[in-house]
Chain A
C-alpha cells in the first residue's frame, strides 16, 4: 500500500480525489488493479494505455453486456480502439462509484446506450440495447414483432418532442424518476 501511494504521488492523489467521486482507498485500489492489467515490461502506469480486450478481463466487467461500450465511452484514445489510460480508468470508476451524482450517471449511461455515437437514441440504438439486455442466445432473443412493439412503446413513453428518437434530456427525465437506477448503475472494484 505504501509503495503504491508513493508511486502515485501525494499531489496527484489529492488531485484525483478532488476530481473524482472516489476515496483515497478506492484510487489506490484502482491503481493496483490497473498496474496488474499492464504487462511486465510496461512500467509507466500513469501514461500507458491498456488495450480494450485486456480491460475486459476484469471480473467486474467480464459479464457486463455493455462492456465494450463502456470502454469506448471512457476511452480518450485517438484511434477509437477503446483502450484506457489510468486516468480514463479512474473516470470510469468515478462515474460508476457509489457517490456519483444522478446527473453524471445518467449522462454516461446515455452515452453508453448511444451505440452509434450520434447523440440520440434512435431505433437502431434501442434495438441493439434490447439485444444486449436479452443476451446473445436465441431462446432469449425477442422476435421482430416483439421488438417493434417494445421500441414503439418506449418511444411513446419517453419521446416527448416526437422526433422518433430519445435525446439526452428526455433520457435524463425518464431516468431521474427511476427508483433504482442510481443503485444499480454501479461498478465497484
Chain B
C-alpha cells in the first residue's frame, strides 16, 4: 500500500515537474503570480524561525511540487529545503525506472484522477506542515534512510514499449529544455549546478535508450552533433567578445563617468565598424583594382600632373591641400579611367565604381535602420509618463559608476530630480511672470535665428570669395586666404554652440528641455552650414562646367593647330607624340568636389584635436599647476576642469559621417581617412577623458537618447545623400576625367553593362521594368505595404498584451481550481478550520492583484488600438 502510493506520488510529481519545465519562460510569470501566496507563507515562517527563510524564491517555488511528491509518500517529514530538493531529483530518476517496469498499463485518465488525489494530499500535507511547524521543528532524518532502501534498477531499453519510449523522450527533451533555461533562473549557482549535473546525467543515461535499430544510431549522431554545435556556438561567442575592440578602455571610462560618457565611445566604436566596412568596399573594389590593373600613372593625361603644376606637385603645402600628386592619384574621382574592363580579370571598373557608390549609401541606410529597429525593440514602450516616480526611484542609479566623485554627483542629481518631480507634482510653483519668460524665450530664439542666418551668410560669402581667389590663382594668396572656408566652418562649429549655451540661459528651461533645444540648435547650425557649403559648391560646379565648355572648344582648336603644325613642318615624321602632361584638360569638377570634402574633413579633424588639446588638456594642466600659486581655488572655482560634452561630441561625429557620405562618391579615399580619424579619436579622446575631464555635474543617462542619436544619423544620411544623388543624376560627368567620361550621365554605365554584358532579353525586360508606367504603380503598392508593416508592428505589441492577458486568465483559472480544491478539502476536514482561513487569505490578494493587472492591460491595449486607428485615419 505504502509503495503504491509512493509511486502515484512520483507520477504526479513528475507530471507537475514537466508542466513546470515546459513553460521555462513562463516560470517567471508563474512565479510572480504565486508570489503573494509565497510571501504570506514566508512571513509566517520567518516569525517562527530564521532557518526556513533562507531559501530563495526558486526554492519556494519548487516546494509545492516537492510536497506533492512527498505527500503521497510520507507525511511526517520536515526537512531543510536543500536536501529536499536533491532528494526530489533522485526520486525523479527512480520513479522513471519504476514506472517503466511496474506501471505499464496505466492510462492517462487514471493518472489525472490520481493527480487530483495528490493535490488534495498536498493541501493536507501543507496544512499539517504548517501546524506542525507552529509547535516545533522536528529534525527528522529517518526518511533519508527510507529513501536509500530503494535500489536503483537497471534500465533495459529493449523492454520498453513505444508509448513509454515516447514518454521517455519527452522527459529527456524536457530535461534538455530545463538545461537551456537554467541560466535564466534566479537561483544560486550551487543549486543550478546540482540540477544541471543531475539533468545532464539523466539525459545522457536515457538518450541512448531512445530510438531503435537504425533510428537509434541516427539519434545518437544527432545528439552528438547538437552537442558539438552547442560547444562551437559557445566558443564562437567567446571569440566574438574577445574580438570587440577597446572593451577594456570603454569599461574603464564607464566606471569613472557612468554610462552616458561611455555611450559616446560605444557610438564611436560603432561608427568605426561601419566606416571599416565602407572602407573595405571602396578600397577593395575601386582603389586597388584601379591601382593594380588600370593603366599606370603617366600614361594618359588624366593620370598625369599637368606641366604647369609639375614643379610644385611634390611640395608639402600642395600635398596638404590634396593637390599635385595627391590629386592625380586613386584618391580622387578624376584619376579613374573610363576603360570598360581592366586587367586580365576583365574587371568592370566604371560599373564597379558606380555600384560601390550606390552600395555605400544602401549599406549605411540598412545598418542605421536596423540598429534603430533593434534599439526600439530593446527599449520597448519607453515614453509614457505613467511611471515617472517609479522610474526615478528604481532605475535612476547607474550601477556602473565606480568613481566616488561621479557617485556624489549622481546623488545630487537624483535628489534634485526627486525634488523637481515633487514640485512638478504639487504644481505649487506657478510661473510668477509668464509674460517675461515668454518674451525672453522669443528673444532667445530670435537671437539664435540671427546667429544661424549670420553663420550661413558668412559661409556663403567666404566660399564665393574663395572662388575668386581660385580664379586668380592660389599662389598669390596667404595661407589664411586659401584655407578660409574650412577654417571659418570649423570655427563657427566651435563657437556658435557656446553662444547658444549663453543664449539658452535666458530661457530658463528645465535642464532636459534645455539640452534638447541646445541639440536641436546645434543640429540646425551644422546642417545650415553644410548646406550653404553645398550650395556654394554647386555654384562652383556650374562655373567649372562653363569653363569646361570653353576648354573643350579650345582643345579642338588646339588639336587642329597641332595637326596642322606638324603637317606643315615635317610630313614624313612619325605620328606626333605629345607628353600626357602637356595635353590641355578640363577642370574636372568631380575631383574639385572631392577635394573640398577631403579638405573639410581634414580641417574638421584638426580643429577637433586642437580644441581637445587646448580646451581640455592645456586647461587641465594650467588649473592643476597654477593652483599652487593663485589667489583663488582654480579647481573648485572659475575655470575648473572641463566636462566631457557628450551631445556635442556625438553631433560632431554624426556630421563628420554626413560629410563622408556626401563626398565618398567623388573621393574614394574618404572612408579610409575617416577610419584613420576615428581610430586616432578613440585613443586621443579616451586618454583626454581619463586624464583631464571631470564627471558631469548632471549625469544624464544615455540609453534613452540612443535612438535619438540614431534618428539624427538617419536624417543626416538622408540629407547628405540628397545632394550626392542630385549631382549624379542631373549633372553630366566631365568629358576627360573619371570613370564615366564620355557618357551623357553617370548612371548610363548600368545601361551600357546591360546592353553588352547581358543577353538581349534581359535588357529588354529591364527597360520595360524601368518604365514609369510600371514604377509608379509599384511605388503605389509599396506605400500600403509599408503601412501594413508598421501596423503589424503595432499588432505585435498588441499580441504580446493578448498573450499576457491569456496567460493570466489561465493562471487565474488554475488558481480558482486550486481554491475550489482547497475549499473541498477543508470541508472534508473541518477540524482544520484555522488552516482554511489561512489559505483563503493567501489566495485573495493574488487574485485581486491579477484582476487589477489584467484590467490595466486591457486599458493599455485600448490605448494602442486607438493609436492604430489614428494611424489608419492618417
Residue numbers of A with Cβ under 8 A of B are 14-21, 23-26, 59-66, 74, 76, 78, 80, 87-88, 90-91, 94-96, 101, 103-104, 107-109, 113, 117-120, 126, 129-130, 133-135, 137, 140-142, 146, 149-150, 153-154, 157-158, 160-163, 167-188
Contacts of B422 in A (CB 8 A): 146, 149-150, 153
Determine how close the nearest CB of chain B comes to the CB of A69; give it in whole angstroms: 12
| Chain B residue at minimum C-beta to C-beta distance from A185 | B399
Q: Is the CB of B189 within 8 A of A91?
A: yes
Give every chain B residue within 8 A of A162 (Cβ-Cβ).
852
> Interface readout for B376-394 with A: 1 if CB under 8 Å, 0 if not?
0011111110111111011
Write out the residue numbers on chain A whose beta carbons fall within 8 Å of the beta carbon of B482: none
Contact A160 B57, beta carbon cutoff 8 Å: no
The complex places the Cα of A77 from the Cα of B419 at a distance, in Å, of 39
**Closest approach, in angstroms, between the C-beta of B403 and any C-beta of chain A?**
6
Q: Are A107 and B28 in contact (CB under 8 A)?
A: yes
Q: List 22 A-B contacts (CB under 8 A).
A: A20-B189, A62-B402, A63-B406, A65-B407, A76-B188, A104-B186, A108-B186, A133-B393, A133-B397, A133-B415, A134-B414, A135-B415, A157-B388, A167-B36, A168-B35, A174-B390, A175-B395, A178-B395, A180-B395, A180-B703, A187-B399, A188-B254
Which among B251, B407, B425 is the interface contact of A188 at CB below 8 angstroms? B251
The answer, yes or no, to whether B137 is at the interface (CB within 8 Å) is: no
Contacts of A62 in B (CB 8 A): 402, 404
Q: Which residue of A lies closest to B235 (CB)?
A: A24
A61 → B minimal CB distance (Å): 8
Contacts of A117 in B (CB 8 A): 53
For the A-B complex with A60-B255, A135-B412, A180-B704 known, give 18 more contacts whose Cβ atoms are closer than 8 Å: A14-B234, A18-B179, A24-B234, A64-B407, A91-B188, A103-B186, A118-B43, A118-B46, A133-B397, A140-B412, A146-B422, A150-B418, A153-B389, A169-B35, A173-B853, A179-B383, A181-B391, A187-B399
Are B389 and A109 in contact (CB-based, < 8 A)?
no
Report Cα–Cα, A181/B179, bound state, in Å.
27
Complex CA gap A93/B352 in Å reads: 49
B399 near A181 with CB under 8 A, answer no
Proximity bits, B67-85, A CB within 8 Å = 1, else 0:
0000000000000000000
B845 touching A161, Cβ below 8 Å: yes
A71 to B650, CA, bound (A): 37
Q: For B849, what are the chain A residues with a Cβ–Cβ distance below 8 Å?
A: 160-161, 167, 169-170
Verify A19–B189 contact, CB threshold 8 A.
yes
Check: B653 CB closer than 8 A to any chain A CB.
no
Residues from 3 to 53 in B contacting A, C-beta threshold 8 Å: 28, 31-33, 35-36, 38-39, 42-43, 46, 50, 53
Contacting pair B39 A157 (CB below 8 A): no
| CB pair B403 A160 closer than 8 Å | no
Within 8 Å CB of B425, what residues of A? 149, 153
Contact A87 B189 (CB under 8 A): yes
- Please determine whether A133 and B396 come into contact, CB atoms closer than 8 angstroms: yes
> Provided the pairs A20-B189, A169-B853, A184-B397 are in contact, do residues A179 and B387 lie with their beta carbons within 8 angstroms?
no
* Closest chain A residue, CB of each to CB of B42: A119
Number of B interface residues in the complex (CB < 8 A) = 85
Contacts of A133 in B (CB 8 A): 393, 396-397, 411, 414-415, 418
Bound complex: CA of A177 vs CA of B391, how far in Å? 9
Using CB atoms, name the residue of chain B closest to A90: B189
Q: Which of A25, A126, A161 contacts B238 (CB 8 A)?
A: A25
Q: Is there an interface contact between A142 and B419, defined as CB atoms closer than 8 Å?
A: yes
B363 near A: Cβ within 8 Å? no
Q: Which of A63, A186, A188 contacts B403 (CB 8 A)?
A: A63
* Assembly CA distance A134 to B393 (angstroms): 10
A residues within 8 A CB of B411? 65, 133-135, 137, 140
Min distance, Cβ B68 to any Cβ of chain A, angstroms = 23
In the bound complex, how far is the Cα of B53 from the Cα of A87, in angstroms? Answer: 21
In the complex, chain B residues whose CB is within 8 Å of the CB of A170: 849, 853
- The residues in B between 199 and 238 inclusive whose CB is less than 8 angstroms from any CB of A are 231, 234, 237-238
Q: Which residues of chain A have C-beta atoms less than 8 A from B254's C-beta?
A: 188
Give the top 7 A-B pairs by smallest Cβ distance, nearest first: A135-B411, A179-B382, A119-B39, A63-B407, A169-B32, A183-B703, A161-B849
Q: Decide if B1 is an interface residue (CB 8 Å cutoff).
A: no
Interface contact A18-B390, CB-CB below 8 Å = no
Q: Judging by beta carbons under 8 Å apart, are A184 and B190 in contact?
A: no
Task: Please report the C-alpha to C-alpha distance between residue A168 and residue B422 in the assembled complex, in whole angstroms.
Answer: 25
Q: Which of A16, A23, A168, A178 meets B394, CB within 8 Å?
A: A178
A11 to B117 alpha-carbon distance, docked (Å)? 43
Look across to chain A and name the residue whose beta carbon is closest to the beta carbon of B27: A103
Pick from A26, A63, A126: contact of B404, CB under 8 Å: A63
- Which among A59, A109, A167, A174 is the interface contact of B391 at CB below 8 angstroms? A174
B387 partner residues in chain A, CB cutoff 8 A = 157-158, 174, 177-178
Q: A28 to chain B: closest CB distance in Å?
A: 10
- With both chains docked as a complex, state the minimum distance between the C-beta of B67 and any C-beta of chain A, in angstroms: 19
Given A142-B418, A177-B380, A188-B400, the answer on whether A157 and B196 have CB atoms closer than 8 Å is no
Do the beta carbons of A65 and B397 come within 8 Å of each other? yes
- Assess the B57–A107 pair: CB atoms within 8 A: yes
B389 and A78 contact, CB distance less than 8 A: no
> Which of B43, B259, B393 has most A Cβ within 10 Å?
B393
With contact pairs A134-B418, A186-B399 given, residues A171 and B179 touching in the complex (Cβ less than 8 Å): no
The interface centre, meaning the residue of A61, A74, A113, A160 with most chain B CB atoms within 10 A of its CB, is A160
Whether A150 contacts B389 in the complex (CB less than 8 A), given A19-B183, A186-B400, comes out as yes
- CB contacts (< 8 Å) of B703 on chain A: these are 179-180, 183-184
- Bound state CA distance, A163 and B39, in angstroms? 14
* Nearest B residue (CB) for A158: B390
Binary A-proximity of B159-192 (CB < 8 A = 1, otherwise 0): 0000000000000000000010011101011101
> Which residue of the partner chain B has the closest CB to A117?
B53
